[in-house]
Structure 1
Amino acid sequence: MKSRLDRYEEFIEKEYRAGLTKPDEYSLEAITPKLRSRFANGEFKRIVFTGMGCSAIVSDIVRGYFAEIGSPIEVHVLNDYDFRFLAPSSVLDDEGTLYIISSYSGHSQEPVLAYQGLKSKQDRVLLLTSGGKLAGLGQADGVSIAYWRLREPDREYPLFHVSQYFAILMDMFHKLGLLDDNHHTRLAELSAELEADYDNTRRELVERVAHDSQDANVIMIASPKWHESLLKLAKMHFNEMSMVPAARNYFHEFCHSEVATLSDPDRKHSVIWFADPDDDDYTIAKGENLVRLLTEERPENLNVRISRVDLGEGDFLRKYFNALNIVQHTALALGRYHETNSRDLISESAGNPWYHSTTIESELAGA
């Protein structure tokens, strides 16, 4: 099996944009007639996604995108299984709420526990998985299942395929009657736009941000629009691919609290501000003031670097996937700089051997 970073680089160059044009690699054959009927009758006004790690991350993009386009479908994302503390009962108990339990492997225990806690609501549950224990439970109980059927998945790092996951969900939601448009045309246009948008200016930005982030704490800040949809996934790329410490926060909250940590001249910090030209005037002015504060010639700023990543013009999708492309290239450069070998800590701490490199290598050897 190729190294993590070699696969990552190959994915960025060949599959990231291409994934937007592969919306058909899934199956709805295991959705029950009863659930299909509820979709057809327009009974669902809300989706509650639950899942862990990258299995749920595309739902944050959907949530942000639906809010941006004014979709009548309300979206909640719960990254745990004790729902009582994550959403109000008015959301959880409403018959107009569809639960989508997402686990790419089907072997993560948290989605299984979420499913077991929803036994009384199975008529409005949809499992989203490639198989595993979760699919087995759903099959035994006669619960609806949508299957990922990616033809060339990276088993160890599903986060590679977020662009394709998004394309699939747009197609899936269209077929289920939740969207009027399957987004094929827009996403094909977007794939071409991304190729043209990654120009020398953005390459130079990546080089600067990666250089300034070497051996530093990476702190990402953005307005609420991008905090969940973009920064959560960006943090995964820095954590899992670069294996560097990275954190995220709401822009205004950071300025009211965490900014105090930048007073220590001995610790190296790299602050990355994702600036949206559509942010309100107060936010833009406050961001420019923060840049001024952290770039002044004073001892406390000796080890502080701040980078402004402008999301550019265009719709939500163009801004999002352009910013993610910058993150990916930056994460790759940092990964090459550190050359840290994986300890399979995610698989082992999550208790899911399906993602473990030894499991994958063993299966490849027996194939």
Structure 2
Amino acid sequence: MKSRLDRYEEFIEKEYRAGLTKPDEYSLEAVTPELRARFANKEFKRIVFTGMGCSAIVSDIVRGYFAEIDSPIEVHVLNDYDFRFLAPSSVLDDDATLYIISSYSGHSQEPVRAYRQLKSKQDRVLLLTSGGTLAELGHADGVSIAYWKLQQPDREYPLFHVSQYFAILMDMFHELGMLDDNHHTRLAELSDQLERDYDTVRRGLVERIAYDSRDANLIMIASPKWHESLLKLAKMHFNEMAMVPATRNFFHEFCHSEVATLSDPEHKHSILWFADPDDDDYTLAKGENLVRLLTEERHENRNVHISRIDLGEGDFLRKYFNALNIVQHTALALGRYHETSSRDLISESAGNPWYHSTTIEAELVGA
């Protein structure tokens, strides 16, 4: 098996944009006629996604996108199974709420526990998985299942395929009657735009950010529009691929609290401000003031670097996937700089050996 970073580089160059044009690698054959009828009758007014890690991250993109386009479908994302503290009963107990339980492997325990909590609501549950324990339970109970059918998945790092996950969900929601547009044309156009948009200016920005972020704690800040949808996934890329510490916060909250830690830090910090030209004037002016404060020629700023990542022009999708492309290239550069070897801490701490490198390698040998 190729190294983590070699696979990552190959993915960025060959598969990131291409994933947007592969919306058909899934199956709805295991969706029950009863649930299909509820979709056809427009009975659902909201979706509650629940899942862990990258299995659920595409739902945050859907949530942000649906909000941007003023979709009548509410989207809630719950990254745990103790629902009582994550959403009100008016959402959880409403017959107009569809639950989508997402686990790419099907072996993560948290989605399995979420499923067991939803026994009384199985007529409005859709499992989203490639198989595993979750699929076995759903099949035994006659619950609807949508299967990922990616032709060339990276087993260890599903986050590689978020662009394709999004394309698949847009097609899936169209097939189920929740979207009028399958997004094939828009996402094909976006794939071409992303290639043109990653120009010398953005390449230079990546080089500067990667250089300033060496041996630094990364702090990402953005407005609410991007905090969940973009920064959550960006943190995964920095944590899992570059294996560097990265945190995220709402821009205004950061300015009212955490910024104090930058008064005279002993260790190096790199602040990434994701600036949307559509943010209100107050936010943009406040951001420029923050840049000024942290770039002044003074002793206390010696270990502080701040970079403005302009999300640029276009709609939500163009801004999102351009920004993610910058994050990926930066994470790759930092990963090459640090050359940290994986200890498989994710699979071991999550208790899911399906993602463990030794499991994958053993299966490759036996194939």
TM-score, structure 2 as length reference = 1.00
What pairs up with 1:197-216 in 2 under 5 angstroms? Answer: 197-216=197-216
What pairs up with 1:256-271 in 2 under 5 angstroms? Answer: 256-271=256-271
Query: Does 1:78 pair with 2:46?
Result: no
Which consecutive residues of structure 2, in runs of 5 or more, have no partner in the other structure? none
| Aligned counterpart, 2:187 | 187
Query: Does 1:349 pair with 2:349?
Result: yes
| Aligned counterpart, 1:62 | 62
CA-to-partner distance for each residue in 1:216-254, whole Å, 9 max, x for gaps?
000000000000000000000000000000000000000
1:207 alignment partner AA: E
Q: Which 10-residue stretch deviates more, 255-264 or 17-26?
A: 255-264
1:76 alignment partner AA: H
Query: Does 1:142 pair with 2:142?
Result: yes
- State whether residues 263 and 300 of structure 1, in contact with CA within 8 Å, keep that contact through their aligned partners in structure 2: yes
| Aligned counterpart, 2:221 | 221
- State whether residues 265 and 299 of structure 1, in contact with CA within 8 Å, keep that contact through their aligned partners in structure 2: no
What pairs up with 1:113-152 in 2 under 5 angstroms? Answer: 113-152=113-152
- State whether residues 264 and 300 of structure 1, in contact with CA within 8 Å, keep that contact through their aligned partners in structure 2: yes
SS at match of 2:270: strand
SS at match of 1:220: strand
| Aligned counterpart, 2:155 | 155
Report the CA distance between 1:264 and its aligned residue: 2.4
SS at match of 1:247: strand
What pairs up with 1:298-317 in 2 under 5 angstroms? Answer: 298-317=298-317
| Aligned counterpart, 2:244 | 244
For 2:301 and 2:70, locate their aligned partners in 1 and report how far apart those are by CA, in whole Å.
Answer: 42
| Aligned counterpart, 1:321 | 321
Which consecutive residues of structure 1, in runs of 5 or more, have no partner in the other structure? none
CA-to-partner distance for each residue in 1:262-304, whole Å, 9 max, x for gaps?
0124211000000000000000000000000000111110010
2:257 alignment partner AA: S
SS at match of 1:306: strand
2:205 alignment partner AA: L
| Aligned counterpart, 1:288 | 288
| Aligned counterpart, 1:90 | 90
Report the CA distance between 1:77 and its aligned residue: 0.1
SS at match of 2:7: helix
For 1:350 and 1:194, locate their aligned partners in 2 and report how far apart those are by CA, in whole Å.
Answer: 34
1:124 alignment partner AA: R
- State whether residues 43 and 96 of structure 1, in contact with CA within 8 Å, keep that contact through their aligned partners in structure 2: yes
- State whether residues 100 and 128 of structure 1, in contact with CA within 8 Å, keep that contact through their aligned partners in structure 2: yes
| Aligned counterpart, 1:339 | 339
| Aligned counterpart, 1:168 | 168
- State whether residues 213 and 270 of structure 1, in contact with CA within 8 Å, keep that contact through their aligned partners in structure 2: yes
SS at match of 1:136: helix
- State whether residues 126 and 144 of structure 1, in contact with CA within 8 Å, keep that contact through their aligned partners in structure 2: yes
1:180 alignment partner AA: D
- State whether residues 99 and 126 of structure 1, in contact with CA within 8 Å, keep that contact through their aligned partners in structure 2: yes
For 2:182 and 2:334, locate their aligned partners in 1 and report how far apart those are by CA, in whole Å.
Answer: 36
SS at match of 2:71: coil
For 1:264 and 1:59, locate their aligned partners in 2 and report how far apart those are by CA, in whole Å.
Answer: 38
For 1:199 and 1:253, locate their aligned partners in 2 and report how far apart those are by CA, in whole Å.
Answer: 33
For 1:261 and 1:22, locate their aligned partners in 2 and report how far apart those are by CA, in whole Å.
Answer: 44
CA-to-partner distance for each residue in 1:314-359, whole Å, 9 max, x for gaps?
0000000000000000000000000000000000000000000000
CA-to-partner distance for each residue in 1:53-81, whole Å, 9 max, x for gaps?
00000000000000000000000000000
2:143 alignment partner AA: V
For 1:197 and 1:326, locate their aligned partners in 2 and report how far apart those are by CA, in whole Å.
Answer: 10
Name the CA shift for 1:4/1:297 in 2 (closer, same or farther; >3 Å): same
Q: Superposition RMSD on alpha carbons, in Å?
A: 0.3
1:253 alignment partner AA: E
1:279 alignment partner AA: D
For 1:88 and 1:68, locate their aligned partners in 2 and report how far apart those are by CA, in whole Å.
Answer: 23
For 1:101 and 1:258, locate their aligned partners in 2 and report how far apart those are by CA, in whole Å.
Answer: 34
For 2:349 and 2:299, locate their aligned partners in 1 and report how far apart those are by CA, in whole Å.
Answer: 40
2:39 alignment partner AA: F
| Aligned counterpart, 1:230 | 230
1:17 alignment partner AA: R
1:47 alignment partner AA: I
Query: Does 1:51 pair with 2:87?
Result: no
CA-to-partner distance for each residue in 1:81-125, whole Å, 9 max, x for gaps?
000000000000000000000000000000000000000000000
SS at match of 1:48: strand
Paired-residue identity, %: 88
